[in-house]
Homo-oligomer: A and B are copies of this chain.
Amino acid sequence: MSEINMTTKDLIDEIPESSSMRMGRIAREKREQIDLINLGIGDPFFTTPKNIIDSAYGFMVKGKTHYESAQGVDKLRIAISNYLKNRFDIRYDSSEIIVTPGAKQGIFYAFFLLIEAGMKVGLFEPSWLGYVPSIRLSGGIPVFFNLDNGGFTDESLTNLSEEKVDLLIVNNPTNPSGKVWDKKELDLLADYCAEENTKVISDEVYHEIVYEKEFVSLGKYEGIGKDLVLAGSFSKTLSMTGWRLGYVCVKDKKMRERLTKLQQIIATCPSSFAQFAVADTLEASLGRTEEMVGVYRKNRDLLFETLNNTRLKPTLPDGTFYMWVDVGEDGEDFAVRLLNDLGIIVVPGRDYGENTQRFVRMSFGIPTERIEEACQRFENEFGK
């Protein structure tokens, strides 16, 4: 059966259970016997800052419990526009922003609209495991590209141009590798996309969680503006994963109208009071984000130092709260053994690309004392 003629049912049945779901099942069986440490989850441990919660409560009580416009409330779109300008020097007018129930749903909309049956969609390996199912559901064919020793170089560009993909998704900072793209790399990529009219989705939901390096957004490249969908979220920035609130920025008017219409048809609108609360508190909450990033940095340094003194090969992440670790054997075997023997949950690398079997992803978005406990266990087991 050709990909093009597959029904949604076929497509969804073909999408395998992700390794992380499988790990979760084993973990549920183990949790009676052992003090589990979960380095598997892509969800920062912090409760949403209290000022945001209080603001949401205030808006609920004031009656902001109703449908709002499909594009998102004006106030929040204006707040996002200002935030992107002030923090990252990205210029999107509030009319060019669509608030979505999470960046993931916004990215699904974009895939669903941009992908035609059989279209090739490029991803850079390792690539967040959520994209492939969404691409497949939209009728696209995921094509993985290896980076040149972790970097996007002239050689990477040659590989890319040979495949002639119609759409690319870039995740910067990258889940799971923690890579923050250099300006040089982005220059190269943006030039290519502008020349080839390749459409790009840039998923920048971790843009606030960056350590020594400077984060540069693809949104700064005017040359690809009309072909770019920029996705952001409050899930990680403000530890609001359970609220379901993200956004996409789109310069192309037609694409924006389609996206808004699609959201109207599928979702009606994102949570109303959540939108008002974030609009009201976004600027004031960024201090809390900084504090959270401080904790992630401490955790990162601890975990990296520990693992670097073992036979495992961690990559020091420039951003995100993930560490990508070469375990020198099948990542799934390693993860199962780690869970059974040390009570530590990690995500096997398999689902992040085609040549990622030897890796696992470890999240350090958990309390520092838990990272310390994990490090103790790693040291005892793998220490030189």
A322 at the interface (CB under 8 A from B): no
CB-based nearest B residue for A61: B53
Chain B residues near A61 (CB-CB < 8 A): 47, 50, 53
Say yes or no: A12-B258 contact (C-beta < 8 A), given A60-B56, A61-B53, A104-B266.
yes
Beta-carbon contact of B266 and A105 below 8 Å: yes
Residue interface bits A222-259, CB-to-B below 8 A is 1, else 0: 00000000000000000111111000000000000010
A177 at the interface (CB under 8 A from B): no
Give the residue of B48, B68, B242, B265 whose beta carbon is less than 8 angstroms from that of A67: B242
Q: How far is the CB of A170 from chain B (nearest CB, A)?
A: 20
Chain B residues near A68 (CB-CB < 8 A): 242
Question: Copies of this chain, how many?
Answer: 2
A57 at the interface (CB under 8 A from B): yes
Beta-carbon contact of A102 and B267 below 8 Å: yes
Say yes or no: A258-B56 contact (C-beta < 8 A), given A134-B266, A239-B65.
no
Q: How far is the CB of A364 from chain B (nearest CB, A)?
A: 16
Give the residue of B112, B242, B271 whose beta carbon is less than 8 angstroms from that of A242: B271
CB-based nearest B residue for A109: B266
Give the residue of B134, B138, B261, B270 whose beta carbon is less than 8 angstroms from that of A15: B261
Say yes or no: A65-B243 contact (C-beta < 8 A), given A101-B101, A105-B266, A105-B267.
yes
A93 at the interface (CB under 8 A from B): no
Give the residue of B64, B101, B138, B262 whose beta carbon is less than 8 angstroms from that of A244: B101
CB-based nearest B residue for A48: B65
Say yes or no: A113-B8 contact (C-beta < 8 A), given A43-B67, A65-B241, A134-B265.
yes
Beta-carbon contact of B8 and A112 below 8 Å: yes
Chain B residues near A271 (CB-CB < 8 A): 242-244, 271, 274
Q: A266–B250 Cα gap in the complex (Å)?
A: 19
A66 at the interface (CB under 8 A from B): yes
CB-based nearest B residue for A24: B69
Within 8 A of B (CB), among A45-85: 47-48, 50, 53, 56-57, 60-61, 63-68
A-B contacts, 22 of them at CB < 8 A, read: A8-B112, A8-B115, A9-B258, A12-B113, A12-B261, A12-B262, A12-B265, A41-B67, A43-B67, A47-B60, A47-B65, A50-B61, A53-B60, A53-B65, A56-B57, A67-B241, A101-B267, A104-B268, A108-B266, A134-B266, A241-B268, A242-B273
